[in-house]
Amino acid sequence: MNRSAEVICVGTELLLGEVLNSNAQFLGQELARLGIPHFHQTVVGDNPTRIKGAIALACQRSQLLIFTGGLGPTPDDLTTETLADFFQIPLVNHPEILEDIARKFAQRNREPSPSNGKQAWLPELAQVLPNPIGSAPGMIWHPRPELTIFTFPGVPKEFQRMWQATAVPYLQSTGWVTAQIYSRVLRFWGIPESTLADQVAPLLALTNPTVAPYASKGQARLRISTRAASVETANQVIAPIEQQIRQICGVHCFGADEDTLESVVGELLQQRGETLAVAESCTGGGLGQRITSVSGSSTYFLGGVISYANAVKQDLLKVNATDLEQHGAVSAIVAEQMAAGVRSVLQSTWGVSITGIAGPDGGTETKPVGLVYIGLSGPQGTQSFEYQISSLRGRDWVRQMSTSHALDLLRRQMLVDQP
C-alpha cells in the first residue's frame, strides 16, 4: 500500500517567522513513529487562493492531508471555509461545538464572542474532532473516496493533545498503521554527549535496535529504537540493550522516557520519607518551580526562601553578615550557610541552595558571569560545589543549568547516603 500523508501548515505568522513551526516537526516524528510515509510539508499564509493551491497539489499526490492552523475565531482563520469551498461542499452548523465553547468559556467566567460562531461550521459529513483544551475544534473529513483530511488548531499544546486523543487511534483503526517504531529514551546528567557516545560506541553500530545519542539543554540522551508489531516484542529487543547501557554509564543515567531530574529526586525523597527545602538567590525561585512542577510534590517539598537581597539571606536564612561581607554573596561559605539555614528554619531533611552570577551584568575578574555555588545540607552534614557555567548562552541558560546541577547533586547524594 503506497498511501502517503502530507502536512500543510496554514498561517501568515509562520511565513513571517513569528512562530517556529514546531507542529511540522511533531508531525514528522509522529508519522515516522507510526510508519506512515510522508514526503512533503508546505507552509502557506492565511490566503484562500494559496490555500486552495496547496490543497489542489496535495490531494494529487497524497491520501492523507494534515492541516494545522487557521481554525480560530478571527476573520483571517480560513482553513475550514477554504477546504469546503475547494471541494464544493456546503458548511453545516454544529450547535454542539458552540455549546462546548460556551462551556469552556463559562469555566473562566467568560462568554463566547460573536466571532466564535464561525467555529461551529464544518463541511457536510465532516466529523468533529473535539479540542479538549481550547475553543477551536478540528475535523476528520472524507471529501472524496480515498482522501482523508485532518484539521487541527495551530496552538501546539491543543494540536498535540488532539492528535494523540483522536488522530492516532483513527489511523490505527483504519489500516494506516501497520508496524510502529518503539523507542526508549535514556536520560543522563553530568556527562557530555560526546563522552557518552564514546562509552557506548559499539552499541551505536547496532541495526536492531538502533541506538542514537543526542542532547538538548545540557542533557545527553540515548534513544533505543526498534520497529515492531507490538510493544511486547519491542521490549524484548530494547530491554537487554538498555541494561547494558545502564551498566556502562552507572549513576550518570538518571532516568528514562518521561523522567526528569525533578521527578526522579521526588521519587527518591518519597521512598525515603524525607523532606526538602530550597534557598535560592540567582535562580529566584526556579528550583522550587521545577520541584513543584511534579504533581504530589507537597508530600516531600516544604518550601523555601528566595533570598535575592542580602538582608533576606541574613534575616531569614541566618547567613553570617561578616562572611557575606568578606566572601560575597556568591561564595562557597554563603552557599553552605544558605543550605544549612533553610534546612534548619524549615526543619527539612535536606536543604539545597543556589547562589551565583546569572549575568549578563554583575561579573568581575575573580567572579565571572556563570560562576555558581550550590550548597547541599543533609543528615551527614553540609557541603558546597562550584560550577563555572558558560555565559555565552545567556542568563536563562545559567539559571537553568544551575537548577539542574542542584537537583542532580541532591540525587547523587541520596544514592550514597543511607536514609
Q: Which of residues 8-27 bind a second copy (CB under 8 A)?
A: 12-22, 24-27
Q: Which of residues 204-223 bind a second copy (CB under 8 A)?
A: 204, 212-214, 216, 223
DSSP per residue over 174-234, as a string? TTS-SSEEEEEEEEESSS-HHHHHHHTHHHHT-SSSEEEEEEETTEEEEEEEEEESSHHHH
Bond before 360 cis per omega within 30 degrees: yes
Q: Which amino acid is at 272?
A: R
Distance in angstroms (rounded) separating the CA atoms of residues 332 and 336: 6
Pairing of strands 350-356, 371-378: antiparallel
Nearer to a second copy, 141 or 337 (CB): 337
Q: How far is the CB of 120 from a second copy (least distance, A)?
A: 13
Q: Which of residues 136-155 bind a second copy (CB under 8 A)?
A: 155
Q: How far is the CB of 240 from a second copy (least distance, A)?
A: 22
Q: How far is the CB of 418 from a second copy (least distance, A)?
A: 25
Distance in angstroms (rounded) separating the CA atoms of residues 242 and 76: 49
* Binding-site string for a second copy from residue 264 to residue 303, where x marks contact by CB under 8 A and - marks none: --------------x-x-xxxxxxxx-xxx-xxxx--xxx
Query: Are 64 and 37 in contact, with CB atoms under 8 Å apart?
Result: no
102 part of the interface to a second copy, by CB under 8 A: no
Residues 6+ apart with CB under 8 A from 106: none
Residue in 206, 211, 237 with CA at minimum distance from that of residue 222: 211
Residue in 326, 328, 302, 306 with CA at minimum distance from that of residue 316: 306
Beta bridge partners of 289: none
227 part of the interface to a second copy, by CB under 8 A: no
Q: How far is the CB of 192 from a second copy (least distance, A)?
A: 6
Q: Which of residues 70-89 bind a second copy (CB under 8 A)?
A: 72-76
29 part of the interface to a second copy, by CB under 8 A: yes
323 part of the interface to a second copy, by CB under 8 A: no
Dihedral sign of CA atoms 241, 169, 38, 139 in order: negative
Nearer to a second copy, 30 or 336 (CB): 30
Q: Which of residues 371-390 bind a second copy (CB under 8 A)?
A: 388-390
Distance in angstroms (rounded) separating the CA atoms of residues 189 and 405: 8
Residues 6+ apart with CB under 8 A from 9: 21, 23, 24, 41, 42, 43, 44, 67, 68, 69, 154
Q: How far is the CB of 195 from a second copy (least distance, A)?
A: 5
50 part of the interface to a second copy, by CB under 8 A: yes
**Binder among 91, 168, 170, 193 for a second copy (CB under 8 A):** 193
Distance in angstroms (rounded) separating the CA atoms of residues 414 and 419: 8
Q: Is 69 helix (H, G, I), strand (E, B) or coil?
A: coil
Q: How far is the CB of 89 from a second copy (least distance, A)?
A: 25
Span near a second copy by CB under 8 A; candidates 231-239, 342-350, 374-382, 405-413:
342-350
**Binder among 35, 48, 192, 379 for a second copy (CB under 8 A):** 192
**Binder among 48, 92, 99, 113 for a second copy (CB under 8 A):** 113
How many chain residues touch a second copy (CB under 8 A)? Answer: 111
Distance in angstroms (rounded) separating the CA atoms of residues 337 and 384: 10
Span near a second copy by CB under 8 A; candidates 191-199, 226-234, 238-246, 377-385:
191-199
Q: How far is the CB of 344 from a second copy (least distance, A)?
A: 12
Q: How far is the CB of 107 from a second copy (least distance, A)?
A: 5
**Binder among 10, 34, 36, 38 for a second copy (CB under 8 A):** 38
C-alpha cell at 183: 523507542
Q: How far is the CB of 29 from a second copy (least distance, A)?
A: 3
